[in-house]
């Protein structure tokens, strides 16, 4: 349903009134309180208990298309057959409850099959960043203690020469291999290609006893050390997002004053990676429950995306603001029928209020935004439709099972409207960091997660992220942790002082840029240092600009670099 211009009668109900209606006893979004890790927590009463229940539910969608990838159109029935077959094979190979199985591939139908095959066994899926270098992938394998790796051909070429550095990996399954494999098996020898899945036996899922608080995933994030940390997610964390997404849609409809429609199966174009909590938790989980069709692209291209939207009657797309900008500003947009689009949503990067208005005005489509992080398994707040148009700088109010608070440096809660560190709690908060008790204790406190974001929350509960306490750059939805890039720059023999900062970019939100101070008497060029980083880190982490400072970088009394003072080095790029 397209967003209508703000009317004098809007909103029809307050946020609290909408919550009361939607969560009333007997309602779809009814809540109950359970104890999670010793903390009484509101949860969705009607959420599936675990991944196996979700996969069993998805089977009931039958011949409805689950995924479309190029010429591969996979029904829910065929997908279930592949999940059951791979789970049975993994079980025969010794994978059981608590074992870690890493996934490293682009958005393919096999990614989804592998993820659910692993988690329905009670094993822990470890989706690795498909953009990582071979060295970064090996770190994820060794840190998680993965015993099996399921990988596509491209990632296999990166990691194969280094696999000896991850001796815990006992088995590798490679999808879509184009060359003979040495030390690995073809995934197709186990389950065939997606075209073969409809003819697989109609097997059943393994009869593993699962509980909502069982560990299900390790998704990698990073902290101030620059080394990735594995956020340990549970089945309940992911099941929560199913109803959180539906609740957010229903709240927007009630605020508009419209009656809630009957459930309908939709088509979504997903162009962000499945190793992100946004695509995996906020997107895939709800689609599996509702029987939505998800279309994946090998690589985003605006023209190709518009062709798909027109041909497949896509109802929603987005992921990061970059996607919306590219659709809006493409000179060929008028050639395509995009009228099927009902929503363009995104998160993970700052977005300009101008974008919100353009989506509603030019595309006649409801804009959507939200806030979450890897540690919250995606959705905590949501924002769409008229609410988003009315408060374009906000990321929306929390869903009904979540709580937000803003604290001062001592952890004392601040009144509405004051800026401080944002804390969040609810059934979507992960268990902690994998094998990092000190980092867990510092970040997770009595059911709350300390986000490191600076924010304010208004009287109605709408959250406004105003800055990030952590030194992080978010480029088009990809987190770039400054210390990681800085550490690589410091390894260069000519660099003695450096800092990474984010510079504004209208499409991507921001881009990484660096200021360096060279060892006296040494030389290095911008291109040389960019190449140095590119050889050691994923391409999206390479600074787009490097400026040279004649003196050591400015610091405060505690020795911390004053990064805000460095933004002036890039005024020429910002102005452009």
pLDDT score at 557:
42
- Residues found in the chain: 576
Please report how many Cα atoms fall inside a 13 Å half-sphere around the Cα of residue 421, on the Cβ side: 15
Per domain, the residue ranges of the chain are 15-47+233-468, 51-210, 475-575
CB distance 270 to 44 below 8 Å: no
Q: Which pLDDT score, from 0 to 100, does residue 576 have?
A: 45
- pLDDT for 564 equals 79
Q: What are the E-state strand segments in 403-524?
A: 403-407, 420-425, 432-433, 444-445, 448-457, 462-468, 472-475, 478-481, 495-505, 509-518
* Range in 54-68, 175-189, 215-229, 280-294 the model is least confident about: 215-229
- Is 409's pLDDT higher than 70? yes
The CATH superfamily of 15-47+233-468 is ANL, N-terminal domain (3.40.50.12780)
b/e 524-542 (16+ beta carbons within 10 angstroms → b) = beeeebbebbeebbbebbb
So what's the pLDDT on residue 268?
98
CATH of domain 475-575: 3.30.300.30
For 265-299, the pLDDT digits (tens) are 999 999 989 999 999 999 999 999 999 999 999 98
Tell me: pLDDT of 2 over 90. Answer: no
Mean pLDDT, range 447-454, rounded to an integer: 93
Residue 485: phi and psi, rounded to 5, are -70, -40
Question: Which one has a higher pLDDT value, 199 or 476?
Answer: 199
Residues above pLDDT 90, as percent of the chain: 77
SS (H, E, C) 124-181: EEEECCCCCCHHHHHHHHHHHCCCEEEEEHHHHHHHHHHHHHCCCCCEEEEECCCCCC
Contact 158, 133 (CB under 8 A): yes
The answer to whether the beta carbons of residues 424 and 448 sit under 8 Å apart is yes
Same fold, 15-47+233-468 and 51-210: yes
Out of 67-71, 111-115, 116-120, 354-358, least confident range: 354-358
Q: Which residue, 429, 410, 407, 409, is CA-closest to 418? A: 407
| Mean pLDDT of all residues in 15-24 | 98
Q: How far apart are alpha carbons 435 and 140 in whole angstroms? A: 13
Strands 462-468 and 448-457: antiparallel
CATH pick for 51-210 out of 3.90.550.10, 3.40.50.150, 3.30.499.10, 3.40.50.980: 3.40.50.980
For 20, 85, 260, 266, 418, the CA distances from 251, given in Å and listed in that order, are 10, 39, 9, 19, 26
- The contacts of residue 225 (CB under 8 Å, 6+ apart) are 483
Q: Which among 258, 247, 505, 255 has a CA at the least distance from the CA of 391?
A: 255
Give the per-residue pLDDT at 213: 98
DSSP string, 76-142: HHHHHHHHHHHHHHHHHTT--TT-EEEEE-SS-HHHHHHHHHHHHTT-EEEEPPTTS-HHHHHHHHH
Is residue 400 predicted with pLDDT exceeding 80?
Answer: yes
Write the pLDDT tens digit of every residue in 41-60.
999 999 999 999 999 999 99
Q: Give dist(CA 295, CA 306) in Å, integer.
A: 12
* Range with the poorest average pLDDT among 147-161, 381-395, 407-421, 561-575: 561-575
Residue 233 contacts residue 217 (beta carbons within 8 Å): yes
When the pLDDT of each residue in the chain is averaged and rounded to a whole number, the result is: 92
User: CA-CA distance, 424 to 406, in Å (whole number)?
Assistant: 9
Residue 467 scores a pLDDT above 70: no
């Amino acid at each position: 349903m397209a967003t209508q211009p703000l009317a004098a009668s809007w909103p029809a109900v307050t946020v609290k009134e909408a919550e009361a209606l939607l969560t009333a006893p007997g309602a779809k979004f009814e809540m109950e309180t359970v104890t999670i890790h010793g903390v009484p927590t509101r949860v969705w009463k009607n959420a599936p208990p675990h991944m196996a229940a979700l996969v069993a539910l998805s089977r009931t969608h039958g011949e409805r298309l689950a995924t479309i990838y190029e010429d591969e159109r996979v029904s829910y029935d065929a997908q279930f057959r592949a999940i059951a077959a791979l789970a049975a094979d993994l079980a025969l190979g010794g994978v059981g409850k608590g074992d870690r199985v890493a996934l490293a591939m682009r958005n393919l139908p096999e990614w989804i099959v592998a993820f659910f095959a692993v988690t329905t066994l009670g094993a822990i899926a470890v989706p690795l960043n498909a953009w990582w270098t071979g060295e970064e992938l090996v770190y994820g394998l060794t840190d998680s203690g993965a015993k099996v790796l399921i990988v596509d051909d491209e990632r296999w070429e990166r990691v194969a020469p280094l696999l000896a550095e991850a001796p815990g990996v006992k088995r590798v399954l490679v999808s879509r291999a184009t060359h003979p494999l040495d030390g690995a098996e073809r995934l197709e020898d186990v389950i065939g290609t997606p075209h073969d899945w409809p003819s697989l036996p109609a097997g059943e899922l393994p009869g593993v006893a699962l509980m909502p608080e069982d560990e299900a995933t390790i998704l990698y994030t990073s902290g101030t050390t620059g080394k990735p940390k594995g956020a340990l997610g549970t089945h309940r964390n992911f099941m929560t997002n199913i109803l959180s997404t539906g609740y957010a849609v229903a709240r927007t409809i009630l605020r508009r004053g419209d009656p809630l429609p009957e459930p309908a199966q939709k088509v979504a174009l997903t162009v962000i990676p499945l190793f992100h909590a946004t695509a995996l938790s906020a997107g895939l989980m709800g689609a599996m429950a509702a029987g939505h069709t998800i279309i994946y692209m090998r690589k985003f291209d605006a023209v190709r995306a518009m062709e798909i939207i027109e041909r497949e009657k896509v109802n929603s797309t987005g992921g990061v603001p970059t996607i919306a900008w590219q659709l809006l500003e493409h000179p060929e947009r008028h050639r395509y029928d995009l009228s099927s689009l009902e929503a363009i949503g995104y998160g993970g990067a700052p977005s300009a209020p101008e974008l919100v208005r353009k989506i509603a005005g030019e595309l006649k489509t409801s804009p959507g935004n939200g806030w979450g992080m890897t540690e919250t398994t995606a959705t905590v707040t949501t924002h769409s439709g008229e609410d988003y148009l009315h408060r374009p700088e906000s990321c929306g109010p929390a869903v009904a099972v979540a709580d937000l608070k803003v604290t001062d440096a001592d952890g004392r809660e601040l009144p509405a409207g004051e800026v401080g560190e944002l804390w969040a709690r609810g059934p979507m908060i992960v268990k902690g960091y994998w094998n990092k008790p000190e980092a867990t204790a510092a970040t997770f406190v009595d059911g709350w997660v300390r986000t490191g974001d600076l924010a304010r929350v208004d009287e109605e509960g709408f959250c406004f992220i105003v800055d990030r306490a952590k030194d992080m750059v978010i480029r088009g939805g990809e987190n770039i942790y400054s210390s990681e890039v800085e550490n690589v720059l410091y390894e260069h023999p000519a660099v003695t002082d450096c800092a990474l900062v984010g510079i504004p970019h209208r499409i991507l939100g921001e881009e990484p840029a660096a200021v360096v101070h060279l060892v006296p008497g040494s030389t290095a060029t911008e291109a040389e240092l960019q190449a140095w980083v590119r050889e050691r880190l994923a391409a999206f982490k390479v600074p787009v600009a490097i400026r040279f400072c004649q003196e050591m970088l400015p610091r405060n009394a505690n020795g911390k670099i004053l990064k805000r003072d460095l933004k002036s080095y890039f005024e020429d790029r910002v102005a452009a």
